[in-house]
């Protein structure tokens, strides 16, 4: 698959790019600054030895890809997504965005739309096929490519075909994908990340994960 990672210069986006490139996918690193995106793509090509990793500005990245992954800070959605609306129509858009506020009374601070994924859906319009996924796979875990990722992948969304594509993307990373329902459940998934962040801080970890028991 050809995957654009909007915010691909950050730790989470770069980690997903590395893992997916090693799994055989074509990667487009997106950034507001195309030169920064190209520089990060060059770093990742050198690290992975994989040629199909390129950089572009966010709008071009979304237009060129078949799958668009959002790995940007929640506070930047309102500025970042409207210019991508046209390029995302008819495509799977995967939101990894988590609305966290560090230093405040509440770490998890969902928007009025209910979740970051639902906010992204509103900004991109109904033609974008939103699936919420990959929030709780730690950047540290993604970066350590010598070891398997010790976690299940929970995802939710309204389009069955899009969720199947996310399942395929998860499997290419060695993850078991578990469908947890419609996009209205996205806030529950995003909140798990806040819980895992608290566990990491309390127990001095970097890569706590989650597994669902009782399934084959």
Q: Where are the domains positioned within the chain?
A: 2-203
DSSP-derived 3-state class of residue 71: coil
pLDDT of residue 103: 80
**First-residue to last-residue Cα distance in the chain:** 28
pTM (whole model) above 0.85: yes
Angle at 142 between CA 39 and CA 66, to 5 degrees: 65
Burial letters for 18-52: b for 16+ Cβ neighbours within 10 Å, e otherwise? bbbbeeebbbbbbbbebeebbebbebbbebbebee
pLDDT of residue 140: 86
pLDDT of residue 106: 87
Backbone angles phi, psi at 37, to 5 degrees: -65, -45
**Pure H helices in 104-185:** 116-124, 139-143, 160-172
pLDDT of residue 207: 87
Question: Mean pLDDT of successive 10-residue segments in the chain (216 residues)?
Answer: 97 96 97 97 94 96 98 95 98 97 86 96 98 94 92 97 98 98 97 93 92 92
Quick one: CATH architecture of 2-203?
Answer: 3-Layer(aba) Sandwich (3.40)
């Amino acid at each position: 698959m050809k995957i654009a990672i909007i915010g691909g210069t950050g730790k989470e986006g770069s980690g997903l790019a590395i893992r997916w490139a090693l799994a055989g996918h074509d990667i487009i690193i997106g950034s507001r600054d195309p030169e920064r995106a190209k520089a990060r793509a060059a770093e990742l090509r050198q690290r992975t030895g994989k040629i199909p990793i390129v950089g572009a500005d966010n709008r071009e990245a979304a237009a060129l890809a078949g799958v668009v992954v959002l790995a940007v800070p929640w506070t930047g959605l309102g500025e970042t997504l409207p210019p991508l609306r046209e390029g995302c129509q008819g495509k799977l858009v995967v939101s990894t965005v988590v609305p966290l506020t560090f230093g405040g009374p509440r770490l998890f601070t969902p928007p009025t739309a209910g979740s970051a994924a639902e906010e992204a859906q509103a900004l991109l319009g109904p033609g974008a096929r939103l699936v919420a996924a990959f929030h709780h796979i730690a950047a540290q875990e993604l970066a350590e490519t010598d070891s398997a990722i010790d976690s299940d992948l929970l995802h939710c969304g309204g389009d069955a075909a899009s969720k199947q594509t996310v399942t395929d993307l998860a499997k290419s990373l060695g993850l078991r994908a578990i469908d947890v329902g419609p996009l209205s459940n996205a806030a529950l998934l995003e909140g798990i990340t806040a819980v895992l962040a608290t566990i990491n801080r309390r127990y001095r970890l970097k890569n706590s994960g989650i597994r669902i028991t009782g399934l084959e």
